[in-house]
Amino acid sequence: MKMAPAVVRCVVLVLAVTYCTGKEGNCPTGCKCNHSLKLLTCKDSRLRRIPVAPQWEVHRMIFRGNHVERLTTQMLASYPQLRYLSLDWNEIQDIEEGAFLWQKKLQVLHLSGNRIGHVAPSMFVGLENLTRLDLDANSITTIPPGTLQPLCKLQILTLVGNDVNLLPGSVFRDLPNIRRIALSGRKLSSLPTEAWRNVVSLRTLHLVDFPMERLVGKAFSDLPKLTGLFLERWEQLSLIPDDSFVDMNLTALSLAGGSLSHVPVWAINHLIWLTKLRLSGNPITSIPHRAFANLTMLQAVRLDHMHLTEISIGAFAHLSNLRLLDLSYNYLVSLPVRSFWAPISIHHLVLAGNNWHCNCELQWILDEMAGAFIHHTSKLVCETPAHLHGIDMLEQQSYNLTCQGPQALITQGHNMSVAEGTLLQLQCVTAGDPLPTLSWFSPANTNHTADPQMNKMDFETNTKGRRYPVLENRTLSIPNVTDKDSGVYTCYVENEFGSAVAEISIVVTKLGERDKDQIDGWESDSSALADQVPSDSHLNAVDDDGMASARRLKQHSVVHRIIQPALLKGAQSALVPQSQTQPQGYVAGDDTYPYVTDSDAVEDDVLAVYDEDSTGKPANGSRMGQVDTGSLPQNSVNPIIVASLLGSATFLGVVVFCMIFLLIMSCIRPSHPDREEAVHTPRRQPTAEQSQQQRRDSNITSSMPSKMQTRMELYQHAEILRG
């Protein structure tokens, strides 16, 4: 009697095992059976055919990752109760006619990842209750008319990853209940708008991998119920016309993976009902002011994996319904609170993968948005300053980030003189955190800012309008300065924490009218002189200091013709005060030459200014006799004055030398007291004896040097006159 309870328990256990074995014991080899869910799973079992169904009803069958190559009618004949069938990622190339003839209740059919190359109406006979057909990642090239006609209840059709190159105009009109279509178009040469024209039931359209550069205007205007448009991975798409989405009621728009360089503000602001916007993967660098001004219903904005470096003030203005903002993996440094004009209630803010500069401009995120970082990928890692590099500010319990007011310094000092007609560049060095904005103000109170378009303007336009570009290094560039450019220039910098100014006084110096006339006369003389220079008097290269070669003329007469205008110039020029430092040289063309003190050096320096080419014209396009005064030091002596003075000294030296020479020659001649009287005495004919003596003397003097011969002749004439 004591053994009875134990026996009863054993019998109950055996019966339970027997019941379970009877129900699930015939599960096909390589499969798993779940009787309660009516699910048969044969996944990654390397099966080459679909096994016969077990004795219980199977409503869901997952036959994924096997090696079935051909689908026949017999394979699925034992599964008439199927509602869900997954045959994806097999090796199916062919589907026999009527293969789904017994699947009257089938609602979902997955055939993605196979090798299906063509489709025909006979393939889908019997699937009158099918609502979803997945044909992604096959080799389908065309869909003949009438292929989808048996699928009268189909709502979702996906053909992504195929090489469709022909899409008939009526292909989707046989689907009166279609709600979603996903299609790849990498082999299509144009957008097949006729294929979905007047498909009034369509709600969502996915168009992937299309090769178009420009979206056709109003391409989707015939889809009145369309609420979701996803134009993704259009790698060449760079232009969205402003009327592309006119009169559409989209709630979701994706333009991800394109080549847009800016936010298509005018196009998207027609979509006042938009709640989800995705621009991920485009090379957009900035979000402009009020970019989403009309999109007040936006709840999710994805701007990840772009090239963002700046988000303008008010970029997210009035987005009070925003719940998700993804700014991850860009080049952002800061996110000012002024980007948001209205109170926001973001639940999820993704900031990972940026170059954050952790200063007080990010403090508001730590203070007000701490609860928004609910995802494990949300990070705020500092790139700068150095002492915060690599620190995730979201992991800090509390941290006070600081800022600094602006500072400005003009590197050229407070005063500067510049020659008329030269290039003037004023550089303003700034400091501050955040980096301050900069503006230059000229004496006429004209504002010059760092405008990229201004930098591209023509030189004549800048000169005529007297507005000058500010270069990327914050340098104000003024070409061809005039006396009107004299005055005080102001560098004004500003950030959120203050402003600063730096000033410099500019004096533009120029030549007088008489000086200009002398230079013009010098040019005229030099032009006439160029024709007198013989061909064998060309230049010798001089390259003592690594500068360009200077030319030298050999003729002494040419030297004086060049120096003479310099003398005229020097007579009207003034020297700088003696207190100023004597410069080391002057500039002629692109070369610098030292000042000299002897006549030979003057000859070299003046000729270096007159650098003529083979045509006799001044080289390098410079005018004859002009010196580049813009390259001289501010306190330098005019090189023409120096050349004139030294030339005058040379001329006087030559005159004195000639006078001394004549005096010496007169002293060394022999004295003949009777010569004065002999000059007025009539010349007598020599006698025969005298003539014979004269011939002998002539033979002797013919071999003497020229000076001695001349002296002897004078002596002989004196003897003749005396006799």
- Assess whether pLDDT exceeds 90 at residue 240: yes
Which contiguous run of DSSP H or E holds residue 231?
strand 228-232
Local structure of residue 243 (DSSP, 8 states):
T
Q: At what angle do helices 599-609 and 639-668 cross, to 10 degrees?
A: 140
In this prediction, residues 367-391 reach a mean pLDDT of: 78
pLDDT of residue 366: 80
State how far the alpha carbon of 264 is from the alpha carbons of 233, 244, 245, 273, 331, in Å: 17, 10, 11, 17, 20
pLDDT of residue 651: 81
pLDDT of residue 695: 61
- What class is the 404-509 domain? mainly beta
* Range of lowest pLDDT (424-428, 464-468, 542-546): 542-546
Structure tokens that stand for 409 in this block: 């310094």
The whole-angstrom separation of Cα 449 and Cα 446 is 10
The whole-angstrom separation of Cα 114 and Cα 86 is 12
- Assess whether pLDDT exceeds 50 at residue 127: yes
- Assess whether pLDDT exceeds 90 at residue 529: no
Residue closest to 432 by CA, chosen among 372, 477, 520, 496: 496
Structure tokens that stand for 79 in this block: 């599964």
The whole-angstrom separation of Cα 562 and Cα 606 is 7
In this prediction, residues 603-620 reach a mean pLDDT of: 41
Chain segment 305-314, per-residue pLDDT in tens: 999 999 998 8
- Assess whether pLDDT exceeds 90 at residue 380: no
pLDDT of residue 638: 60
pLDDT of residue 592: 44
Per DSSP, the three-state class of 621 is: helix
pLDDT of residue 112: 97
**Residue 606, C-beta contacts closer than 8 angstroms, at least 6 positions apart:** 559, 562, 563, 566, 643, 647
pLDDT of residue 80: 94
Local structure of residue 129 (DSSP, 8 states):
T
User: Which comes out higher in pLDDT, residue 135 or 717?
Assistant: 135
- Assess whether pLDDT exceeds 70 at residue 107: yes
Local structure of residue 612 (DSSP, 8 states):
B
The neighbour count for residue 370, using CB atoms within 10 Å, is: 10
> Which amino acid type is present at position 484?
K
In this prediction, residues 75-81 reach a mean pLDDT of: 94
- Assess whether pLDDT exceeds 50 at residue 591: no
Query: Which segment, 146-155, 367-376, 680-689, is predicted with the most confidence on average?
Result: 146-155
> Which amino acid type is present at position 695?
R
Chain segment 500-522, per-residue pLDDT in tens: 999 999 999 976 544 555 545 54
In this prediction, residues 58-65 reach a mean pLDDT of: 96
Count of all residues that appear for the chain in the document? 723
Residue closest to 466 by CA, chosen among 451, 449, 452, 446: 446
The whole-angstrom separation of Cα 193 and Cα 704 is 116
- Assess whether pLDDT exceeds 70 at residue 346: yes
CA angle, 559 as apex, 555 and 563 as ends, to 5°? 170
Contact (Cβ atoms closer than 8 angstroms) between residue 470 and residue 438: yes
The whole-angstrom separation of Cα 664 and Cα 701 is 24
pLDDT of residue 582: 39
Phi, psi of 277 (to 5 degrees): -135, 130
Query: Which segment, 3-7, 239-243, 393-397, is predicted with the most confidence on average?
Result: 239-243
User: Which comes out higher in pLDDT, residue 554 or 487?
Assistant: 487
Structure tokens that stand for 159 in this block: 């053909």
Q: Whose structure tokens read 């097949």? A: 192
User: Which comes out higher in pLDDT, residue 654 or 534?
Assistant: 654
Chain segment 643-659, per-residue pLDDT in tens: 677 777 888 888 888 88
> Cα 668 to the chain's mean position, in Å?
85
In this prediction, residues 353-374 reach a mean pLDDT of: 80
**434 prior amide bond cis, ω within 30:** yes
CA angle, 31 as apex, 25 and 37 as ends, to 5°? 75
Per cent of the chain over pLDDT 90 is 41
Longest alpha-carbon distance in the chain: 198
In this prediction, residues 615-624 reach a mean pLDDT of: 41
In this prediction, residues 456-484 reach a mean pLDDT of: 69
Long-range interactions of 110-115: CB distance < 8 A, separation 24+: 110/85, 110/86, 110/134, 111/87, 111/135, 111/138, 112/88, 112/136, 112/137, 112/138, 112/158, 112/161, 113/88, 113/89, 113/137, 113/138, 114/87, 114/88, 114/89, 114/90, 114/138, 115/91, 115/139
Structure tokens that stand for 164 in this block: 């469709």
Q: At what angle do helices 599-609 and 556-572 cross, to 10 degrees?
A: 80
> Which amino acid type is present at position 62?
I
In this prediction, residues 677-683 reach a mean pLDDT of: 44
Residue closest to 104 by CA, chosen among 130, 85, 78: 130
In this prediction, residues 52-80 reach a mean pLDDT of: 94
Structure tokens that stand for 82 in this block: 């199927």
Domain range summary for the chain, segments of one domain joined by +: 404-509, 513-654, 678-722
| Confidence grade of residue 189 (pLDDT, cut at 50, 70, 90) | confident
- Assess whether pLDDT exceeds 60 at residue 575: no
- Assess whether pLDDT exceeds 70 at residue 605: no
**Residue 124, C-beta contacts closer than 8 angstroms, at least 6 positions apart:** 100, 130, 133, 147, 148, 150, 151
Contact (Cβ atoms closer than 8 angstroms) between residue 429 and residue 409: yes
Residue closest to 437 by CA, chosen among 495, 476, 497, 490: 495
In this prediction, residues 430-453 reach a mean pLDDT of: 79
- Assess whether pLDDT exceeds 80 at residue 675: no
Chain segment 24-58, per-residue pLDDT in tens: 458 999 999 999 999 999 999 999 999 999 989 99
pLDDT of residue 690: 59
The whole-angstrom separation of Cα 50 and Cα 683 is 153
487-495 and 437-441 strand pairing: antiparallel
In this prediction, residues 171-187 reach a mean pLDDT of: 93
Give the chain's mean pLDDT: 75
- Assess whether pLDDT exceeds 80 at residue 717: no
Contact (Cβ atoms closer than 8 angstroms) between residue 295 and residue 274: yes
- Assess whether pLDDT exceeds 90 at residue 84: yes
DSSP output for 499-524: EEEEEEEEEEE---HHHHHHHHHHHH
